[in-house]
C-alpha cells in the first residue's frame, strides 16, 4: 500500500509539472530565434567592417580563437553577422523567462497551499507539495542566468522560508 502512495505522489509531481509547463507553452509562446535572426542573415558576407556593422554584425579586428589546420591561413579579422539579432533575441528571451518564472512561482505556491490546506489524502498532498516545489525550481532555473545576484539571494531565501514553513505546517502535527 505504501508503494502505491509513493507512486501516486511521484505521478502527480510529474504530471503537475508537465501540466503547468505545457499550459504556459500553449497560452504564452516563447520567442522564436528565427524571428530575430532569419536564416538568410547567415548567407550574407561581410568582408569589411562597414558591411558588417551595416547588417547588424560586430566586427572583430583579430582572428577567431579557434584552431586551424597547418595549411590554412588564420583570418585576421571577421564579422559576427548575428551579433545584433542575438542581442535582441536574448533581451526578449530573458523577459519571457522572467515571466515564466513568475507564473511558475505563483502556480508552485498555489500547489503548496493546496497541498497544505485543501487536500487531505497524504499521497495527493505530497504530490502537490513536491510538484509546487518543482515548479518553483524549474522557474528559477529558467531565469537564473539573467537574474541579478541580489535577486538570486532573495529568491533563495524566500524558497528556504517557504520550505521551512511547509515543514512546520505539514510535519509539526
C-alpha span between 137 and 101 (Å, rounded):
9
Whose CA is closest to 81, among 56, 50, 49?
56
Q: Which is nearest to 135 in space by CA: 171, 107, 100? A: 107
Query: For position 66, what pLDDT does the model report?
Result: 56
What distance, in Å, lies between the first and last C-alpha atoms of the chain? 23
Looking at residue 75, what is its pLDDT?
Answer: 62
Q: Over range 138-143, report the average pLDDT.
A: 92
Per-residue pLDDT tens for 92-136?
Answer: 999 999 999 999 999 999 999 899 888 889 899 999 999 999 999
Distance of alpha carbon 111 from alpha carbon 26, whole angstroms = 20
C-alpha–C-alpha distance, residues 18 and 15, integer Å: 5
Quick check: 150 pLDDT over 70? Answer: yes
Per-residue pLDDT reduced to its tens digit, 41-92: 888 878 888 989 988 999 988 755 555 566 666 567 888 999 999 999 999 9
Instruction: Supply the Cα-derived Rg of the chain in whole angstroms.
Output: 24
pTM listed for this prediction? 0.79
Amino acid at each position: 500500500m505504501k508503494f502505491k502512495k509513493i507512486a501516486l505522489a511521484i505521478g502527480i509531481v510529474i504530471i503537475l509539472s508537465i501540466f503547468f509547463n505545457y499550459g504556459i507553452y500553449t497560452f504564452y509562446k516563447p520567442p522564436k530565434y528565427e524571428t530575430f535572426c532569419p536564416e538568410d542573415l547567415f548567407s550574407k558576407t561581410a568582408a569589411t567592417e562597414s558591411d558588417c556593422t551595416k547588417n547588424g554584425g560586430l566586427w572583430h579586428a583579430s582572428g577567431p580563437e579557434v584552431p586551424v589546420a597547418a595549411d590554412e591561413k588564420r583570418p585576421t579579422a571577421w564579422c559576427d553577422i548575428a551579433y545584433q539579432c542575438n542581442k535582441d533575441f536574448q533581451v526578449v528571451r530573458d523577459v519571457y523567462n522572467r515571466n515564466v518564472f513568475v507564473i511558475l512561482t505563483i502556480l508552485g505556491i498555489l500547489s503548496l497551499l493546496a497541498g497544505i490546506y485543501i487536500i487531505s489524502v497524504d499521497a495527493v498532498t505530497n504530490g502537490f507539495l513536491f510538484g509546487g516545489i518543482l515548479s518553483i525550481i524549474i522557474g528559477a532555473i529558467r531565469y537564473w542566468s539573467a537574474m541579478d545576484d541580489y535577486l538570486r539571494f532573495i529568491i533563495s531565501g524566500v524558497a528556504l522560508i517557504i520550505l521551512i514553513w511547509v515543514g512546520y505546517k505539514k510535519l509539526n502535527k
